[in-house]
Amino acid sequence: MVTALIHIDLVQKQRLARRAKLRGKSFSQEVRDAVDLYLDVPVESEEELRELAKAANEAADRMIKNLDATVAYVGRVLKHHSGSARPAGSTGKTANPTKIKRNRARQSRALLPR
């Protein structure tokens, strides 16, 4: 192996470090894997890859919207039945749909190419 000095922006470094940690690899190995993946994509298909990533983001947004509606529905049902006995371990609190949406969107987009 040879050493190479590269310049990347802070967000790129953070995203690569996060992925490396999730995969149990070193930062350097994650960079090498990313470069290998990039080099394995034929030049003529990069636009197609961008379109697929865009479609995946749109699909994730639709799923998040459906999940938000489900969470809201469950919240209404739980509120309606608030006087009845709750399952063991239940706190009776409902999830914050806005916070759930932001977290899921952030997680789903963290791994998609931009």
Q: Per residue in 89-112, pLDDT tens?
A: 555 566 676 777 677 666 665 555
pLDDT tens digits, one per residue of 47-80: 888 888 899 999 999 999 999 999 999 999 898 8
Residue 86: per-residue pLDDT: 54
Residue 80: per-residue pLDDT: 85
Measured between alpha carbons, how far is 93 from 38 in angstroms, rounded to an integer? 45
Q: Which of 92, 109, 103 has its CA nearest to residue 68?
A: 103
- Biggest CA–CA distance in the chain, Å, is 67
Q: Tell me what percent of the residues of the chain surpass a pLDDT of 90.
A: 49
